[in-house]
């Protein structure tokens, strides 16, 4: 890959809701090309720790953020392991987190990464090309029922059973090696009338599901959401940008649950007369979306939604999930 040019979304909104302090330390959990980190470093004298599992993204961010050295440190890792990353750096708590979830534009745009059905490439889809199963290896490994469940759960594809059968048959016939071949197989599993009515490519949901599975994206997000409150200083903020309902639902529910210390659901806790203390208070009552001007400049911002919360002085809580 010759470069990693990525237009970060909701940059102004991240700054507004993160509200970085000059003496603060912030973690960019999904560094990408460094767009959000660059904005934070320009707007304040804060320190940034950037985490990404894509070595190409780290190289691009290192170049982009060179002018801010030594206020910016880059770490090759997964944001679900942020507690271990900070522990290795000798840091107990930070002033804020930013997580821009999903896939970056360069990962989509470069055919050799195998993320996009619009470009002929290998069925890879790994955000870190140095480790883990490729999408093709995953499809070879799981049985047809597990593949169907995966496509249904992570892609919300209601034709997952038929698509899974077609994929496994193509594999048996050695007719599935590239992204375009997979897209053609998936299209056979979607009724033509439904394809004509849909605004998205018939392979969109299946590609999303495989990408999420290959990179364990929801597991990573789940681990991060379970651990970040104890890593935030009082007054610190967490800002998360998601791009589809599976991610956003996890974020919204976790931020909601962090407002209660009771082991009971909020309404039952109140009925029982239990004392309820906030651990993280919402900064955004509803999801924040990109402006019309931003979506005109960058159509990929259209599906982005931002949520933020702030750590209070209340004790840390276990995860109630």
Domains and CATH numbers, the chain: 11-106+217-311 (3.40.50.150), 118-215 (1.10.150.170)
Question: Distances from the Cα of 91 to the Cαs of 57, 127, 259, in angstroms?
Answer: 24, 26, 25
Q: What is the pLDDT of residues 95-149, one digit of tens each?
A: 999 999 978 777 777 888 999 888 899 999 999 998 999 999 999 999 999 999 9
Q: What is the pLDDT of residues 277-303, one digit of tens each?
A: 558 999 999 999 999 999 999 988 999
Q: What is the pLDDT of residues 165-198, one digit of tens each?
A: 999 999 999 999 999 999 999 999 999 999 999 9
What are φ and ψ of residue 131, in 5° steps?
Answer: -155, 160
pLDDT at 261 over 90: no
Rounded to whole angstroms, the Cα distance separating 62 from 28 reads 13
pLDDT at 225 over 70: yes
Instruction: State the Cα angle at 236 between 234 and 239, rounded to 5°.
Output: 145
Rounded to whole angstroms, the Cα distance separating 11 from 306 reads 10
CB < 8 Å & 24+ apart, contacts of 114-117 = 114/179, 115/207, 115/211, 116/179, 116/207, 117/179, 117/180, 117/182, 117/183, 117/201, 117/203, 117/204, 117/207
The rounded mean pLDDT for the chain is 90
Cβ atoms within 10 Å of 268's Cβ, excluding its own: 11
Q: Would you say 126 and 55 are in contact if contact means Cβ atoms under 8 Å apart?
A: no
Residue 52 carries which DSSP code? Answer: E
What is this structure's pTM? 0.89
Region 35-53: mean pLDDT is 97
């Amino acid at each position: 890959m010759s470069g990693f040019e990525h237009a970060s979304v909701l940059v102004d909104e991240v700054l507004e809701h993160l509200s970085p302090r000059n003496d603060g330390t912030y973690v960019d959990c999904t560094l990408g090309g460094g767009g959000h980190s660059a904005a934070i470093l320009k707007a304040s004298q804060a320190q940034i720790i950037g985490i990404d599992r894509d070595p190409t993204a780290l190289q691009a961010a290192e170049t982009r953020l060179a002018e801010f050295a030594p206020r910016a440190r880059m770490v090759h890792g997964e944001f679900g392991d942020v507690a271990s990353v900070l522990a290795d750096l000798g840091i107990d708590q930070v002033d804020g987190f930013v997580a821009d979830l999903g896939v970056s534009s360069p990962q989509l745009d470069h055919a050799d990464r195998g993320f996009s059905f619009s470009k002929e490439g290998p069925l890879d889809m790994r955000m870190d090309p140095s480790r883990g199963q490729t999408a093709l290896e995953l499809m070879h490994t799981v049985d047809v029922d597990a593949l169907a469940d995966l496509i249904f759960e992570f892609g919300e594809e209601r034709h997952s059973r038929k698509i899974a059968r077609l994929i496994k048959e193509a594999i048996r016939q050695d007719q599935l090696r590239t992204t375009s071949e997979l897209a053609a197989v998936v299209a056979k599993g979607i009724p033509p009338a439904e394809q004509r009515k849909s605004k998205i490519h018939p392979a969109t949901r299946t590609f999303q599901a495989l990408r999420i599975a290959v990179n364990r994206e929801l597991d990573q997000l789940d681990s991060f959401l379970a651990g970040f409150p104890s890593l935030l200083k009082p007054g610190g903020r967490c800002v998360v940008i998601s791009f589809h309902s599976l991610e956003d639902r996890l974020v919204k529910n976790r931020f909601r649950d962090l407002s209660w210390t009771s082991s009971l659901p909020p309404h039952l806790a109140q009925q029982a007369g239990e004392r309820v203390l906030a651990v993280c208070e919402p900064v955004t009552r509803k999801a924040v979306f990109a402006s019309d001007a931003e979506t005109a400049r960058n159509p990929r911002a259209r599906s982005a939604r931002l949520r933020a919360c702030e750590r209070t002085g209340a004790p840390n809580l276990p995860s109630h999930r």
